[in-house]
Amino acid sequence: MKALIIIDVQNDFIPGGSLPVPNGDKIVPVINRIQDTFDLVIASQDWHPQDHVSFASNHKGKSVFDEIELHGKPQTLWPDHCVQGTQGAEFHPDLNTDKWETIFRKGTDKSIDSYSAFYDNGHLKSTGLTGYLKEKGVSEVYLCGLAGDICVYFSTMDALEEGFTCFFIEEASQALDAEAFKSLKKKLIDKGVQIVNSEFFL
């Protein structure tokens, strides 16, 4: 069985949001077009408390995109984004959610960030996504969404570690930093991830 995992296509990551991904809105029609080709469609949703540790506003004297050390790992400080219950945390209004079976929320623990839809950044706590997919009999996962170089990338890496055959849908993803994503894409390919576009599903 193959599953589509739609990562964080939320208003704050769309142009006009608090942490906009360039051309983030351009992927919405692509995602809508391919959903019917999958046995299972699920989504992840960034869902931060207002006092989340990754927000620059919660660190006196720090600025957005500064880097600190957190739990022994580097942590980028972000603008406040995808705060629980806000419009910024809602999915893009044009995104078709009818076929979605469920939504996995992440980033809910104020003390640690969570880029991946599978685990927090310290791999301390699972979201339960792996068990859900395996119980459904999923062997292939196709990942897309925002941002390609952060949350989609880390979700893909975790999906590989969990034993899934992974496909990265490039046309249905956009990166926050397009240059950085070039090297990350090479890492994915080297790990055995197949990079595909929407024509793959026709």
Active site residues: 8, 106, 151
Q: Long-range pairs for 80-83 at CB < 8 Å and ≥24 separation?
A: 80/18, 80/50, 80/55, 81/12, 81/13, 81/17, 81/18, 81/19, 81/46, 81/48, 81/55, 82/8, 82/10, 82/12, 82/13, 82/45, 82/46, 82/47, 82/48, 82/107, 83/48, 83/49, 83/50, 83/52
C-alpha to C-alpha distance for 119 and 100, rounded to whole angstroms: 21
Q: Tell how many helices (H) and how many strands (E) occur in the chain.
A: 4, 8
C-alpha to C-alpha distance for 106 and 126, rounded to whole angstroms: 10
C-alpha to C-alpha distance for 174 and 196, rounded to whole angstroms: 14
How many C-alpha atoms does 98 have within 13 Å on its Cβ side?
Answer: 7
